[in-house]
Amino acid sequence: DAGVIQSPRHEVTEMGQEVTLRCKPISGHNSLFWYRQTMMRGLELLIYFNNNVPIDDSGMPEDRFSAKMPNASFSTLKIQPSEPRDSAVYFCASSRSGGDTGELFFGEGSRLTVL
């Protein structure tokens, strides 16, 4: 089975530009999570969805960040406008049942560099 698929793997952009990161969860998984990884703060949960509905977005840094899940097989994380401090690796993960079993399946990440 295919794992969690993220795109792009790498993105370099200039400050002020819009960035869209994409994620396809594992088929049959009904929970999807967006994490951000930086050296300073480690792995932070930004937002998660159950059955395509956002449950908790308290980790989203500010209004420049937004996430959508229009259907069970696709989610986007958008940053507009981007800033250098947004540079990080963004991971998408999915799980079968709200993540309460603890087994999350991660994608390979999207490495974002904002100049």
Partner 1 sequence: GNSVTQMEGPVTLSEEAFLTINCTYTATGYPSLFWYVQYPGEGLQLLLKATKADDKGSNKGFEATYRKETTSFHLEKGSVQVSDSAVYFCARNSGNTPLVFGKGTRLSVIA
Tell me which residues touch partner 1 (CB under 8 A): 4, 33, 41-43, 45, 48, 56, 91, 93, 98-109
In the bound state with partner 1, the residue whose beta carbon lies nearer, of 18 and 103, is 103
In the bound state with partner 1, the residue whose beta carbon lies nearer, of 24 and 109, is 109
Contact 46, 36 (CB under 8 A): yes
In the bound state with partner 1, the residue whose beta carbon lies nearer, of 63 and 100, is 100
Nearest to 61 by CA among 40, 37, 86: 86
Q: Rounded to the nearest whole angstrom, what is the least distance from the CB of residue 48 to partner 1 in the complex?
A: 5
Residue 85's φ and ψ, nearest 5 degrees, are -70, -5
Q: Rounded to the nearest whole angstrom, what is the least distance from the CB of residue 82 to partner 1 in the complex?
A: 22
The C-alpha atoms of residue 54 and residue 103 are separated, in whole angstroms, by 19
The C-alpha atoms of residue 95 and residue 7 are separated, in whole angstroms, by 19
